[in-house]
C-alpha cells in the first residue's frame, strides 16, 4: 500500500487511539519501583481506578493483556472440577470458556446466536434448577466486542438474587469499562475483569481485577495453584502503593492521566458521549440499507457497531479496500461471523468530528468495493449528532 498523508483512522473496537495527552504522560524516565516517588504514583492509580469501576473494594492491576485478568479471576476463585455458568454471547465469551476448561472447570454454556447479550431469564432458570449449588460462579461478558451486543448486568444480578443462589458473579468489562455505565459495588459483582486498551485509552499492557469481599474470601479458601496471578500478595503490598514484582511503570503514568481525563469530562458525560456516537453510527448503517448484527435495541453497544455484509460480499475484502483507499482500519469479523461482518469502533478518544470522518471513509469504502448500499449514511449520522432526529420526533408527536 502506498504511503498516505494524514492521520490513520483507527476505528477498530480496541485497541483504541491513544490521546496525545496520555502519550506525553508516559514519556517519562523509568523510576525506581521501590521508591517513595513510585509509591505515590501507585497509590494515585490504585485509588483512582476504583472510581472508574464504581467500587471501594480492591482493584488489582497486572502487567498483562485482558486474557491474563480472565485467568486471574479463575485461578483465584475456582478449583478443578467446579462448575460455572456462562452465556454464549460471542467470540470472547467463547474464549473465556476455553480458558476455564483448561483449568479443569466444567462450563455450563448457555447457547446463543451471537446477536444478543446474556438472557437474565435463562440464567435465573439454570440457577433455580441447581438446588445442590454445584454452580460456583456466573460468568458474563458485559460488552461482547465481536458482536456489538451488551449484557444487562443489573438485571442479571437481580435474576441471581431471586434464586437465592450463592454463586460468585464475574463480569468481563474489557471493552466496556470507561465507555459504558458500570457499577461494581451497586450491582454486587464479585470479580470485574478489564484491560487498558479500550475505554481507558491506553496502549495494551495493563489488566485489572476488581474484587469483592466475597471473592477475596473465596480466594483464601481456594486450592487452585497460582503465583503470578495471586491476589493475596498483590492486595497486601498494594496497600502502600507498591507491587510484588516489577510493574509497567510508564503505563501507570498513562493510567493516572487517563483517570484525570475521564473525571475532567465527567464519567456520566463520557457514557452519554458514547451513547450519542453509537446512535449516530446506527443511523448511518440503517441509511446505507445494511443490517446491524445486534437484534435487541436494549442491548446495542455504545462501544462499537457490528455491520452485516450483504450476501455474497466478503467483509474482509471490503475492509482491505477501505484501508488501501481511505486509510481507515475497521474491525474484522471473528469466529462464527468471520468474513460476514465488519465492526466500527466509536470508543475512547472519539468525538463527533472524528466519527463523521470515519463514517465518510466507511461510506466511500462501500462504494469503492462495490458493496450494494444507499448513499446518505453520513448525513443521517449528522442529523443525530445535530439533534435533528430527536427534534423531528418531538414535532411528529406534537402534530
What DSSP letter does each residue of 365-378 carry, written as one string? HHHHTT----S-HH
C-alpha cell at 2: 502506498
Chain segment 211-233, per-residue pLDDT in tens: 999 999 999 999 899 999 999 99
131 appears as a binding residue in the annotation: no
In degrees and rounded to multiples of 5, residue 299 shows phi and psi of -115, 10
Q: Label residue 393 by pLDDT band (50, 70, 90).
A: very low
- Grid cell in block for residue 58: 480492591
Yes or no: say if 90 and 145 are a contact pair by the CB < 8 Å rule. yes
Predicted local distance difference test score (pLDDT) of residue 159: 98
C-alpha 320, offset from chain centre: 25
| The pLDDT value given to residue 213 | 98
Closest listed residue to residue 170, CA positions, set 138, 143, 145: 138
Residue 5: predicted pLDDT: 82
Q: What's the pTM value of the predicted model, to 2 decimals?
A: 0.94
Burial 236-270 (b: 16+ CB within 10 A, else e): eebeebbbeeebbbbbbbbbbbbbebbeeeeeeeb
Residue 201 and residue 16 in contact, taking contact as beta carbons nearer than 8 Å: yes
Is the peptide bond preceding residue 15 cis, with omega within 30 degrees of 0?
yes
- What number is the average pLDDT over the span 126-140? 98
Q: What is the pLDDT of residue 280?
A: 98
pLDDT in tens, 297-339: 999 999 999 999 999 999 999 999 999 999 999 999 999 999 9
Each residue's pLDDT tens digit, 176-207: 999 999 999 999 999 999 999 999 999 999 99
Three-state SS for 398?
Answer: helix
Local confidence band at 1 (pLDDT 50, 70, 90 cut-offs) = low
CB atoms within 10 A of CB 379: 15
Could you say which DSSP state residue 19 is in? P
Q: Label residue 2 by pLDDT band (50, 70, 90).
A: low
pLDDT value at 390 more than 70: no
Q: How far is CA 50 from CA 47, 58, 244, 338, in A?
A: 6, 7, 20, 36
pLDDT digits (tens, 9 = 90+) for 14-72: 999 999 999 999 999 999 999 999 999 999 999 999 999 999 999 999 999 999 999 99
Average pLDDT, the chain: 95
User: What span, in angstroms and rounded, lies between the C-alpha atoms of 85 and 108?
Assistant: 5
Would you state the cell numbers that stand for residue 287, as one nine-digit string?
A: 441509511
| DSSP code for 347 | -
Are the beta carbons of 251 and 203 closer than 8 angstroms?
yes
Residue 392, pLDDT score? 43
pLDDT recorded at residue 391: 41
**For residue 4, what pLDDT is reported?**
81
What are the angstrom distances between the C-alpha of 346 and each of 91, 185, 301, 364? Answer: 20, 27, 10, 18
Q: Where are the alpha helices (DSSP H) in the chain?
A: 20-26, 36-53, 66-77, 91-102, 120-129, 153-163, 213-221, 231-238, 249-265, 267-287, 315-326, 352-368, 377-386, 388-398
Angle between helices 388-398 and 377-386 (to 10 degrees): 70
Sheet of strand 106-110: strand arrangement: 59-63, 206-211, 191-195, 168-172, 135-141, 83-87, 106-110
Q: What is the Cα–Cα distance from 203 to 42, expressed in whole angstroms?
A: 18
For residue 389, is pLDDT > 70? no
**What pLDDT sits at residue 345?**
98
Instruction: Show the domains of the chain with their CATH numbers.
Output: 9-16+266-398 (3.90.1150.10), 20-263 (3.40.640.10)
Starting at the edge strand that comes first in sequence, how are the strands of the sheet with 304-308 ordered?
Answer: 9-11, 328-332, 341-345, 304-308, 291-292
* Higher per-residue pLDDT: 274 or 3: 274
pLDDT band for position 289 (cuts 50, 70, 90):
very high
Q: What proportion of the chain, given as a percentage, has pLDDT over 70?
A: 96
In terms of DSSP H, where are the helices of 164-266?
213-221, 231-238, 249-265
Amino acid at each position: 500500500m502506498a504511503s498516505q498523508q494524514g492521520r490513520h483512522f483507527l476505528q477498530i473496537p480496541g485497541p483504541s487511539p491513544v490521546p496525545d495527552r496520555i502519550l506525553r504522560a508516559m514519556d517519562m524516565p523509568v523510576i525506581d519501583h521501590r521508591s517513595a516517588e513510585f509509591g505515590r504514583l501507585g497509590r494515585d492509580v490504585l485509588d483512582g481506578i476504583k472510581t472508574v469501576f464504581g467500587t471501594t473494594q480492591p482493584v488489582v492491576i497486572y502487567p498483562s493483556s485482558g486474557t491474563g485478568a480472565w485467568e486471574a479471576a479463575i485461578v483465584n476463585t475456582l478449583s478443578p472440577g467446579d462448575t460455572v455458568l456462562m452465556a454464549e454471547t460471542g467470540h470472547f465469551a467463547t474464549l473465556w470458556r476455553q480458558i476455564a476448561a483448561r483449568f479443569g472447570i466444567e462450563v455450563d454454556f448457555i447457547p446463543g446466536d451471537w446477536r444478543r447479550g446474556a438472557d437474565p431469564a435463562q440464567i435465573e432458570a439454570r440457577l433455580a434448577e441447581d438446588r445442590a449449588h454445584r454452580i460456583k460462579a456466573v460468568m458474563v461478558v458485559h460488552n461482547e466486542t465481536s458482536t456489538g451486543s451488551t449484557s444487562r448486568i443489573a438485571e442479571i444480578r437481580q435474576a441471581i438474587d431471586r434464586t437465592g443462589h450463592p454463586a460468585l458473579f464475574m463480569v468481563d468489562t474489557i471493552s466496556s469499562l470507561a465507555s459504558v455505565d458500570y457499577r461494581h459495588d451497586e450491582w454486587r459483582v464479585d470479580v470485574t475483569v478489564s484491560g487498558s486498551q479500550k475505554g481507558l485509552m491506553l496502549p495494551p499492557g495493563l489488566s485489572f481485577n476488581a474484587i469483592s469481599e466475597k471473592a477475596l474470601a473465596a480466594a483464601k479458601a481456594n486450592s487452585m495453584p497460582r503465583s503470578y496471578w495471586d491476589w493475596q500478595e498483590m492486595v497486601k503490598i498494594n496497600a502502600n502503593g507498591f507491587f510484588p514484582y516489577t510493574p509497567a511503570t510508564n503505563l501507570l503514568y498513562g493510567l493516572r492521566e487517563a483517570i484525570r481525563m475521564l473525571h475532567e469530562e465527567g464519567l456520566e458525560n463520557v457514557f452519554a458521549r458514547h451513547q450519542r456516537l453509537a446512535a449516530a453510527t446506527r443511523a448511518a448503517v440503517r441509511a446505507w440499507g445494511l443490517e446491524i448484527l445486534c437484534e435487541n435495541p436494549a442491548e446495542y453497544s455504545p462501544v462499537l457497531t457490528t455491520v452485516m455484509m450483504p450476501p455474497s460480499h466478503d467483509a474482509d475484502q471490503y475492509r482491505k479496500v477501505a484501508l488501501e483507499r481511505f486509510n481507515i482500519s475497521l474491525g474484522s469479523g471473528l469466529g462464527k461471523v468471520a468474513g460476514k461482518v465488519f465492526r466500527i469502533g466509536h470508543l475512547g478518544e472519539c468525538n463527533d468530528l472524528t466519527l463523521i470522518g470515519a463514517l465518510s471513509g466507511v461510506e466511500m469504502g462501500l462504494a469503492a468495493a462495490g458493496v450494494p448500499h444507499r448513499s446518505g449514511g453520513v448525513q443521517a449520522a449528522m442529523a443525530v449528532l445535530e439533534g435533528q432526529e430527536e427534534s423531528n420526533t418531538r414535532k411528529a408527536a406534537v402534530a
